[in-house]
Amino acid sequence: MTRRRNTVWLIGALTLAIAFASASQDIVIDAYAVEVLRPDEQGVAVGARIALYRAAMFIAGGLAISLAGLWSWPAVFVGLAAVYLPLMLVTRWAPASDADRSPPPSSLRDAVWEPFVGFLRVHRAIEILAFVVLYKLADNLAGALVRPFLVQVGFNDFDVGVATATIGLIATLAGTFLGGMLTTAFGLGHALWAFGALQILSNFGYVAVAAVGVYRPLMYAAMGFESLTTGMGTGAFSVLLLRMTQKRFSATQYALFSSLFALPRLLAGPVTGVMVDAIGWRDFFLFTMAVERIPARPGHASVTREVLLNGGRTMSLAAYLALLAVGVGPFPAFALAAVCLAVVAIARPWKSPQDLGAAPRSED
């Protein structure tokens, strides 16, 4: 019994140490990206990094389990650790950033406290932080219960597995990479509101599934489109986080922004379960579409007030058109909202094209 208790504590300590090291490495890589990437490189680089990161997690996890069945877990862990050795050479010869030539912080206060205070000095800083938290709130609300939703509708385990682990994964990876590229091509401002609008429309698929019931082509299409738009929104938003971060505080500020970005995903589960019990699946997904109008009013020096205000209003218009058109069925509603958004996206004149994410905020 004592030996078993010691084993549990050992596994817990190792898990904590690995998670801490992994999170620290992620923050360092993100800070490095903030410091070395030029504005015209950020979209493609961020999209590729997130897509490859998720693909590597999926492949490595499945491969590790398969190899453990052939060999043993100690051999698998040694092999995974050995993969890091050649990557040390990549780190050694990676291009240095300008921040490496700057003097390090002189105290713990300068390293930890100043990044927070420095950002709060930015005009409308609280609204910017609210935008970071709320931009993907509706997407997180809808995504938290997709698997239970499909099971309750009547799809079997095989259907759900194909939708989430195959179609969903591939579409998310493709969407993230595509979102990064399109952010570079269209500008950050256009990309943020356009991908946000697409995320609203993607929930129409789940509304249709709730209304139609078990129909595999519709369910697969809804899952694929929702995952694709989620990836596109993540790609564009990750570029926004890069441009919001001051280079001299790259690690601390990016850690703050990415933590706030992940907060709704952690809190969505309990809230969504209660809501579904109260209003049902169809109305729940309609609600998530209306919620997308919340992050409509932040402004920032590198993402202009004009872009986000008009983009937020456009996303709100899509949500309201969708809700008003529900009475004639989800498919006409989807078509109506999609046509309106396409017209606005093509015809909308912008007063300051140079501010649409083409250049980062000047560093101080």
**CATH no. for residue 116?**
1.20.1250.20
Select the highest-mean-pLDDT range: 50-64, 123-137, 166-180, 290-304. Answer: 166-180
67-99: per-residue pLDDT in tens? Answer: 888 888 888 889 888 988 888 888 888 887 776
**Got the DSSP string for 179-201?**
HHHHHHHH-HHHHHHHHHHHHHH
Mean pLDDT value across the chain? 75
* Residue 331 belongs to some domain of the structure: yes
Residues 13 and 116 in one domain: no
Task: Tell me the pLDDT band of 108, cut-offs 50, 70 and 90.
Answer: confident
- Is residue 130 within 8 Å of residue 298, measured between CB atoms? yes
Same domain assignment for residues 291 and 155: yes
Statement to judge: residues 24 and 168 lie in one domain: no
Note whether 205 and 218 are within 8 A (CB).
yes
Q: How many CB atoms lie within 10 A of CB 219?
A: 24
Q: How confident is the model at residue 5 (pLDDT cuts 50, 70, 90)?
A: low
Total domain count, the chain:
2
Are residues 185 and 305 part of one domain? yes
In a domain, 67, yes or no: no
Which contacts (CB < 8 Å, 24+ apart) does range 39-43 have? Answer: 39/243, 39/357, 39/358, 39/359, 39/360, 40/184, 41/184, 42/180, 42/183, 42/184, 42/239, 42/242, 42/243, 43/180, 43/181, 43/182, 43/183, 43/184, 43/185, 43/191, 43/235, 43/236, 43/239
Q: Which domain holds residue 210?
A: 108-355
Flag whether 9 is in a domain: yes
Q: Would residue 100 count as lying in a domain?
A: no
Q: Say whether both 160 and 265 belong to one domain.
A: yes
